[in-house]
Amino acid sequence: MTRRAFLHTGAAGLAAPGALGAEPPARRPNILFILTDDQGFGDIRSHGNDKLDTPTLDKLAADGARFDRFFVSPLCAPTRASLLTGRYFLRTGTSWVAQGKETMRLEEVTIAQVLKAAGYATGIFGKWHNGEVYPHHPLGKGFDEFFGFCGGGISNYFDVLLEHNGQPVQTKGFITDVLTGEALRFIEANRGRPFLCYVPYNAPHSPFQVPDKYFDKYAARGFDPRTASIYGMVENVDDNVARLLAKLDELALSSNTIVVFITDNGPNGPRFNAGMKGAKGSADEGGVRVPCFIRWPARIKAGTVVHPIAAHIDILPTLAELCGVEALKTPPLDGVSLVPLLEGAKKGTFSFSAKQPSAPQGGEKVNVPFSAHDRTLFEVGAARTPRWRFRTQGKKAELFDMLADPGQKTNVAADHPDVVKQLAAAYAAWEKDVRRGQEGMPPPLPVGHDQARAVLLRTHLASVENVERQTPWTNGYMKAWPNTHGRVTWELDVVKGGRYDAELVYVCAPADVGARVRLEAGDSHAEAVVDRPADTASVATNDRVPRGEADVKKWATCPISPIELKPGPAKLIFRVTELPGKQAFVMQGVRLMRQ
């Protein structure tokens, strides 16, 4: 049967609520969307890993649809941008995982915005990683409630300081357990209306910390401490998914809740990955093929296996059609609805974005016959068809027959020059298209919004001269200042001009007090003397292996005199102008608060 799968490309409208072939439920379905961080395809027992226990995820896959070839991006922020918007990540402005390059453009429309406009309660509990300064923040991108952290990582998983709707909250316990508890509270509170509960766990991303009972179990199975930590975190996720599903059962919501489970890239290091080449950060199969399970007892038959290729860009249009909601006007989407495949169809009539290289120009939506077996997906440096994986290695092309050679052991580019030529041309057209409009990214940091009067400008969001970063990642900070010619500069968009209180967020040894600091913005400036020490010791953490993340600090604040900011673009420059000793403080950032 030929079906139309909805894809929104700039004009309002969705498939009619009855387009799935049955009367819609009295209430639109809820969505529980679970995403894990750095969990590979092989980190599921039912994917062939008999050394790992994931009974809940195995049952989730069996009770609904399991995608055999589901693809994401090689890194976390890009994948999240595509999952949330239905667009290739470079279109959204996201191009990397740190230094502001993880931030999505404000005009991007997320699945939370689509569902919120249709009356859904929307909550996120975990890792955001697509912008941290409002309105790039979750509360500015369609979520009613946010509990978690905005950056790409945090440095400790036990008793961690998190954010709840803009306010710091000191938590108690292991972070995955804590996030699940907040998600359960949200589900309970919104049981009487449709909800989107987005739970993007940070496990099993480093640092490698996990409760003893999980670590001891996998250490006893002979795994090294790193792998034992990762597998322990995965099993802990499995236990927490069980808590979420049990709550749906308890509230009699299971039959009308779509449960989605996906991971954001391949495994974070070498371990079992079903014989695939590559891991996190790689555009090879093992870096981008991940688990994807979708359960909805009211509509999706248990035991469904989807063999055609699909991707993160397909999630928004799929959920939109399943929910039968009116979509917001969005930029043209790259994904297609997977509803026909969830229903067992092999082909159908799909709408696709006019921004795809093969589509007409002008942004209009076009309906074309589309076979799932003819599709091409793109990633930076690679293209994937149902048969071929094409990779660009500088001027050299690689081609792998994924049906005959799923482990990518033999480059067959020389044997199939016509295929290489075709895919190289398609890839070049795609890359040129998605990289258009990248000027001006990352965007300036908005300050002065009524909804976020206080903004922490962390140093990873700044450009730095003559001062060393402790680490380039999102939980890092500046090392002790050794000179008076260094500077940190933030590019701002001052939404409302006026006087802003400012404070330095820092730690400082007693021997290093006395430095004079200066903030500058145009012809306005503010100064302070850092005359109070603040404990520089690192907080003890429960690391199982040496960490690659920044140490955890107990940050203090030092007031800086108010500074006048004019509306519009501004450069905010921070300098040390007097240095009594050999070095000054360690700096996390500067907090601005509109008066």
Q: Is the peptide bond before 135 cis (omega within 30 degrees of 0)?
A: yes
d(Cα 418, Cα 422) in Å, to the nearest integer?
6
Amino acid 441 reads M
Six-digit token pair at 54? 């994931």
d(Cα 149, Cα 128) in Å, to the nearest integer?
6
Inter-CA distances, 69 with 40, 296, 306, 310, 403, Å: 13, 20, 8, 6, 12
Amino acid 109 reads V
Six-digit token pair at 524? 């306005």
**Quick check: 529 and 515 in contact, CB under 8 A?**
yes
Is 159 exposed, middle or buried (CB count within 10 Å of its CB: 0-12, 13-18, 19+)? middle
Six-digit token pair at 385? 């068809």
Kindly provide the residue ranges of all beta strands, DSSP E only, lying in 171-279, ordered along the sequence: 195-200, 257-263
Among all residues, which ones are annotated catalytic?
76, 129
Q: Which residues contact 495 (CB under 8 A, 6 or more apart)?
A: 446, 447, 448, 449, 567
Nearest C-alpha neighbor of 36 from the set 193, 258, 231:
231
The dihedral region occupied by 363, where left means phi > 0, alpha psi between -120 and 50, and beta the remainder, is left
